[in-house]
Amino acid sequence: MKKIFLLIGLLVAGFALHGQGQEAYIKAMQKGLTAMGEAKGIEATQAAASQFERIAAKVETEWHPHYYAGLNYINMSFMAQDLATKDSYTAKAQTFIDKAKAAAPNNSEVVALQGYNYMAQLAADSGNRGQMLSPKAMQNFSMALKLNPENPRAQALLAQMQYGMAQFFGSPTDKPCAMAKQTLPAFDAQETGKSLDPTWGKDMAESMIGQCGK
């Protein structure tokens, strides 16, 4: 009987410790998300990325910290000036995207982030990389939408790619512009602060819609 009570006690203690660990994880992630939301420029974005890197090192099986570390490095690539630096950031982002994929296979957000990383590499040297990377980016955005048709990031990024291609070929931009506008209700419906899931991207969609009106 004493052994049974001891076992029950150990199980209860284990659950309590797990709960404390989960609470600390969520607090750390929320702190990182706040830092990311407030980041202006490469230095602050690097600091946010580093926060997520530290969390990811402790919880390898959680996809969120890998995702946000990768997202910050992609954002840094868009901020950087020279090609070598841009490529170093997207290469770093890829390491975290790969870990996010391993932690959450066939996750719409992670698949969309992979497309976004291709998009960043393409933007860094569009003249030489367009033919190779445009199909990869669009394929990932389309795949993300198959996994979750309501994913506004995947839809907005796909619309942006299609808009850029239409401009390049001198084609009408009506369809990608309409697609971007369709994302706004989905972005507005997101409940920020209630989960660790991504909510970014509305400003990007609005920026594109502004270009459509010109």
Going from the C-alpha of 39 to that of each of 35, 62, 72, 109, 200, the distances in angstroms are 6, 23, 10, 21, 13
Contacts of 76 (CB under 8 A, 6+ apart): 42, 45, 46, 49, 89
Which element (helix H / strand E) includes 149? none
Residue 69's closest CA among 43, 87, 86, 51?
51
Going from the C-alpha of 207 to that of each of 13, 59, 67, 131, 177, the distances in angstroms are 51, 35, 24, 25, 11
pLDDT in tens, 101-115: 999 999 999 999 999
Q: How confident is the model at residue 21 (pLDDT cuts 50, 70, 90)?
A: confident
Q: Which segments of the chain does DSSP mark as H helices, in order?
A: 2-38, 42-58, 63-79, 83-103, 108-124, 126-147, 152-169, 174-189, 202-212
Which residue is associated with the tokens 């309409």?
Answer: 178
Average pLDDT over residues 140-144: 98
pTM: 0.88
Q: How confident is the model at residue 17 (pLDDT cuts 50, 70, 90)?
A: very low
* Other beta carbons less than 10 A from residue 89's beta carbon: 26
CATH 1.25.40.10 fits 29-212, yes or no: yes
Per-domain residue ranges of the chain: 29-212
